[in-house]
Structure 1
């Protein structure tokens, strides 16, 4: 959330009307960012929609299932806000793939924010595309990630424990 909030501050510092849409649980995380814009012509607005979420929870299969379910439940209130406010653009975290449909529905551009960066995305894409983790005999055996500028070796135990289905629908965001 911090990089996304920092981006909102950058937008506001350039004179752009910026609104962060968040849930009550996460609203307090953005208060420092909003305070940074106190002297700007356009301050960051905070729009709170119904929903829950606790970023301090550990990652487990049960948590991920609940997490993705909670994310999908935010689509309707976000659509309602967009319909009422008519933004010029949506900047959405990569975990909100349905914002592509929302942007198309309201004919506005959408930018995907990926806080992990481009290099990890290249590694994830290569590991998934070539199914590298299945081609080793143990969790500690190293495999080389292809098509990168330098040799990167990983083992299965270094990969996050996420099922392929977890990312279904997030690949083409």
Structure 2
């Protein structure tokens, strides 16, 4: 074990919030650390580890408890109860993990933790470790929530324009829905604002973005925190090709229809397909789902539409059968492979940050699926969705 320890520059725990949209970018960052000869141990919750499909990966995986090992967030009576239980039990089990790894001969030097979970920084400081917070959202969105946290952006919004450092003038409807539609997402806004509860104590602030994309706001944030932009965190073979075996994220809470999707796309002309996906979290009303279905049916384009199993009953009757010649509906797909396929000419997206970075990196034009607010807004909740399914942020 001593020789193994010396072979690495450091040992880093990477703790991701237990959802698809958070583990993907943090796992990719972890792969880059390993490439630099840093020993990495990926950490997630016991329940989440049972639900993910893990592809070939040599990285060490450890688990902690969120207090709901048999059912995860769905087992908790409310989002507020879940967050508090996760903080209490997670702090205890993360401390036990750090102690166990330290006594094993390969002690931990650093904890990189998801901003959704600010308490791991307290654990890092308790053991004298470096603590680095990892934000999976855009720098602009982080800046908005930070100003709410500081009390410099008053809620509910009352002014016709909002002026924040490093950002152009914004109207209320430009704000995240947690702010614009204030009070409609109980517990959600508190969790997002609490990302900044102890950020001033972090040794590093890491953001999944790149400087040229958000230059002005990054410059402003760099003045107050030891900040680094480390994105876009895509598998290397879709970006810079420095890691030859890195051609997929490696973890998925859904089993993708890879063969069916790629075979179908291979039979379509270049740039002819509209790819439609709202991620693992957005929940549409039945009326919205059916209007979108009719729009795709009447369009002149072929379409590949990702509809989660929990959402499929909202489709018009016999829609899948009647559009089978021009469209393919799947429960999940390998999004990076789809976006990089020459048949895809447009991405109709909910504008989740991972999807946005993927499309930007692969040069795919995007159309936003955001509906007019508040009546026709896609309903998105961090942690708990209206139908009880798990989302990813």
**TM-score, length-scaled by structure 2:** 0.35
What's the C-alpha RMSD, in Å, of the aligned pairs? 2.9
In the other structure, the counterpart of 2:198 is 172
The equivalent of 1:63 in structure 2 is: 79
Residue-pair matches, total = 157
Q: 1:22 to 1:101 in 2, by over 3 A?
A: same
Q: Which residue of 2 aligns with 1:157?
A: 180
C-alpha spacing 1:97/1:83, structure 2 compared with 1 (3 Å) = same
Larger radius of gyration: 2
Q: Secondary structure, in 3 states, of the residue corresponding to 1:130?
A: coil
1:11 aligns with 2:6: no
Deviates more, 1:155-164 or 1:78-87: 155-164
Q: Which residue of 2 aligns with 1:26?
A: 48
Distance 1:151 1:169 in 2: 24
Structure 1: stretches of 5+ with no match in the other structure:
38-42
- The question of whether the paired residues in 2 share the 8 Å contact of 1:144 and 1:153 is answered with yes
Name the structure 2 match of 1:109: 130
1:61-107 superposed Cα distances (whole Å, 9 cap, x missing partner): 92243234223311111101111212111111112222222111211
Deviations 1:103-136 (A, max 9, x none): 1121110110111132211111234422433352
How far does residue 30 in structure 1 lie from its aligned partner after superposition?
A: 6.9
Q: 2:78 is paired with a residue of what secondary structure? A: helix
Match of residue 144 from structure 1: 162
The answer on whether the counterparts of 1:50 and 1:77 sit within 8 Å (CA) in structure 2 is yes
Structure 1 residue 165, shift from structure 2 partner? 5.2
The TM-score, its normalising length taken from structure 1, stands at 0.73
The answer to whether the 8 Å contact 2:41/2:60 transfers is yes
Q: CA deviation at 1:142?
A: 4.0
CA–CA separation in structure 1 for the residues paired with 2:65 and 2:122: 20
Q: Which residue of 1 aligns with 2:225?
A: none
Change (3 A) 1:50 1:91: same
Equivalent residues of 2:87, 2:119 under 8 A apart = no
Is the Cα–Cα contact under 8 Å of residues 126 and 145 in structure 1 kept in the other structure? no
Bigger relative contact order (CA 8 A; separation at least 6): 2
Partner of 2:141: 120
Gaps of 5+ in 2: 1-22, 102-106, 174-178, 200-393
CA contact (8 A) 2:124 2:131 kept: yes
Q: 1:9 to 1:135 in 2, by over 3 A?
A: closer
For 2:171 and 2:31, locate their aligned partners in 1 and report how far apart those are by CA, in whole Å. Answer: 37
Deviates more, 1:123-132 or 1:110-119: 123-132
Query: How much has 1:54 moved relative to structure 2?
Result: 4.2
